[in-house]
Amino acid sequence: MSKEQFNISQTDMDRAHILDRLSSAEETFDVLVIGGGATGLGAAVDAAARGHRTALIEQADFSKGTSSRSTKLIHGGVRYLRQGNLSLVLESLHERGLLAHNAPHLVHNLAFVIPTYSWWEGPFYGVGMKVYDRLAGRLGLSPSHLLSREQTIALIPTVETAGLLGGVVYYDGQFDDSRLAVSLAQTADSLGAAVLNYCAAVGLIKEHGAVVGIQARDAETDAEFEIRARSVINATGIFVDALRSMDDPAAERLVAVSQGIHLVLPREFLPGNAAIMVPRTADGRVLFAVPWHDRVVVGTTDTPRSVHELEPRALPAERNFVMEHARRYLAKSPRDQDVLSVFAGLRPLVLDSKAPNTAALSRDHLILVSSSGLITITGGKWTTYRKMAEDVIDHGEMVAGLERRRSPTETLQIHGWTHAPISEKNLQPYGADAPRIADLFESDPALAAPIHLRLPYQRGEVLWHARQEMARTVEDVLARRTRALFIDAQASIEAAPAVAQLLAGELGHDRAWCEAQVEAYRSLARGYIFTDPASTARST
C-alpha cells in the first residue's frame, strides 16, 4: 500500500481542544447544530463548507441512534416507486450517485436480485426496475435485467428453489453507516467546524424572544457553559419534539416513531455477491438480505413505537417476522442460534394524523422555523442527508441574516476519499487514512494482533479511534468505529476488556474505569444476542 496513491487529508479531532473552543464563550457561531446523526453531521459539513463559523454538539456519540442502525443501503427506494412518490425516488437516486462519487471508500455498487415465483412477477418487476434505471439518469449504476432460473441461482446460490421461476436483477448502493458518520465529522472538523460528542443541549438561550444560543453540558465533566450562535438547528432525530418543547411548551408534535430491526447471519446463508430483495412482505414493507462485512444483514420491520430511546430493543414479534421471511426465501433455514446479532433502530417520520400506520408516513424531510427562530429538520433518510443539509443551511442563512452562499457539497470529497485499492479488508472503510493506520502496525507488531479471533479488527485500530476519531468509550469502538457489536455481539463482549485497556492507555484512565466500561458494554451488548433470555425479557 503506497502512500503516494492516496489523497491523505489530516484532521486532529482533538476533543479537549474543541471543548475549550466551545466553552470559552469567545466565539459566536453562525450556525450551531444540535444532533450528531446523519442529518446534523451533514448540516455541519454544509455550513462549514460555505465558510460559516459552525459548531455541532451530540448528546452521546456520533450516529449513536438511528444513523448507525440502518439497512446499510444508499438507495433510491424501490418501495417509494411502487407508492408513486417519484419526486422522492428522483431525489434519492440523484443523491445516491453523488455519494458514490464523493465517498467511494464507503459506498459501493451492489447487485440486488428479486426472485420470482409467479409468472407475472418477472415482467411486472422488470418493467418497474427499468423505470428505476431511467429515473437515475447519468448517475445510474448498472442496468437492470431479467434472469433465468439458473442465473438467479448462480447469483444467490442459497435462494429457496421450490417454485422458483427466475428473477430480476438491479443495482443500488451499499455503505457502512456509522463509518460514514465518522467521516462526516472528520470532514466538518477539517473545514473548521467545532464538532463535539458527549455534549448535550440542556437549555435554550433567548433574547427578546429569539433563540441566540444554548446552555450545554459536557457529559464527561458535568461542566455547563453557553454556546452562542446566530442560527440554531434542531437535528436531533427522534428527539426533535423534546427540543421544540424546550422552545415552546405548546408546540405540536412533529414526529411519529417507527422501529425497524435487522438480524445478522453468517455469510454461509448468502454466499454470493448479490443481495436478495423481497418487494412486498406481509406488512407491506420491502425486505432485504444483504451481504455486509462478510455477514448477512436481514431486515427490516416497520413497527409503530411510543418510546423515544437511544437503545431500542427488537420485539419478539419482530424477531419472529424477520426469521420467518429469512426461512421462506433462503434454502438453508437459519436457526435462532445462528443469529450473530439483532439490532433495532427508531426512524423519525413526519407525523400525519390521517395515516393508518407508520409504513404510510412520509420519508420526505420537513423543515420548520419557530417564532423564536429555532430551525427544526426531521424525516428523510441516509441517502438524502446531503440534500437535507443543503436545504436546512439555506434556512439557517435566512434566519441568521448571513450572506447567502451556494452549497459546494455536490462535489465535496468526504474525508477518506480515495479510489486506490486497499488490500486489507478491515482497513478499507478508512480510505485514505489506511496507510497511516498500517504504520501503527509496523511501528509495533503487537498492534497488528486482532482484538478477538472471530473479529476482523486489529488492536492498532483502537488507538486510531481514540487519537483521530474521538472515540471515548468501549461502545464507541465496538459499535461504531468498528462494527463488532453488529457482526458478532458475543465476540464483541469477549473483546471488551482488551479494548478497554487500549483506550485507557490512550485516554489516561485507570483500572476502575476499565472495569466500569466493560460492565456497561456487556450489559448493552447482551441486548443484541438473539437467544439471550435477558434481552428478550427487556424487549417485551
- The predicted pLDDT at position 11 comes to 60
Same domain membership, residue 130 and residue 49: no
Task: Report whether 43 contacts 33 (CB < 8 A).
Answer: yes
- Strands 287-292 and 108-116 come out as unpaired
CB neighbour list of residue 320: distance below 8 Å, 6 or more residues apart: none
Residue 238's CATH number: 3.50.50.60
Burial of 119 (0-12, 13-18, 19+ CB in 10 A): exposed
**Domain stops at, among 352, 384, 408:** 352
Last residue of a domain, one of 296, 322, 352: 352
Per-residue model confidence as pLDDT tens digits over 251-288: 999 999 999 999 999 999 999 889 999 877 766 678 89
Predicted confidence band at 331 (pLDDT cuts at 50, 70, 90)? confident
Strands (E), 90-223: 108-116, 145-147, 166-174, 194-196, 199-207, 210-218
E runs forming strands in 281-426: 287-292, 295-299, 303-305, 341-350, 365-369, 375-379
- Final residue of a domain: which of 295, 326, 352? 352
Q: What is the pLDDT of residues 502-518, one digit of tens each?
A: 999 999 999 999 999 99
The percentage of residues in the chain with a pLDDT greater than 90, rounded to a whole number, is 78
Q: What is the pLDDT of residues 423-435, one digit of tens each?
A: 999 999 999 999 9
Domain assignment present for residue 415? The answer is no
107 and 232 in a common domain: no
Does residue 268 share a domain with residue 166?
yes
Whether residue 240 lies inside any domain: the answer is yes
- Pair 288, 163 in one domain: yes
CATH of the domain at 161: 3.30.9.10
Task: State the Cα–Cα distance between residues 394 and 402, nearest whole angstrom.
Answer: 10
Asked whether residue 406 is assigned to any structural domain, the reply reads no
For residues 511 and 469, state if they share a domain: yes
Kindly state whether residue 85 falls inside one of the protein's structural domains: no
Q: Within a domain: residue 294?
A: yes
CATH of the domain at 480: 1.10.8.870
Q: Supply 186's cell numbers.
A: 472528520
**What band does 132 get if pLDDT is binned at 50, 70 and 90?**
confident
219-226 — which CB contacts under 8 Å span 24+ positions? 219/59, 219/60, 220/472, 223/23, 225/22, 225/23, 225/25, 226/25
Question: Within a domain: residue 79?
Answer: no
Widest distance between CA atoms in the chain: 71
Tell me the pLDDT band of 363, cut-offs 50, 70 and 90: low
In the prediction, which pLDDT does 283 show? 66
Looking at the structure, do residues 305 and 344 belong to the same domain, yes or no?
yes
Instruction: Check whether residue 319 and residue 244 sit in a common domain.
Output: no
Residue 83 has a pLDDT of: 65
Helix H or strand E segment including 274: strand 274-278
Same domain assignment for residues 451 and 485:
yes
Q: How many domains does the chain have?
A: 3
Instruction: Indicate if 444 and 529 belong to the same structural domain.
Output: yes
Assigned domain for 199 exists: yes
Q: Is residue 83 part of a domain?
A: no
pLDDT in tens, 447-480: 999 999 999 999 999 999 999 999 999 999 999 9
State whether 270 and 318 are in the same domain: yes
Same domain, 341 and 366: no
pLDDT of 352:
66
Looking at residue 2, what is its pLDDT? 42
- Amino acid code (one letter) for 303: T
Domain range enclosing 149: 100-173+256-352
Examine the domain organization and report whether 328 and 383 are in the same domain.
Answer: no
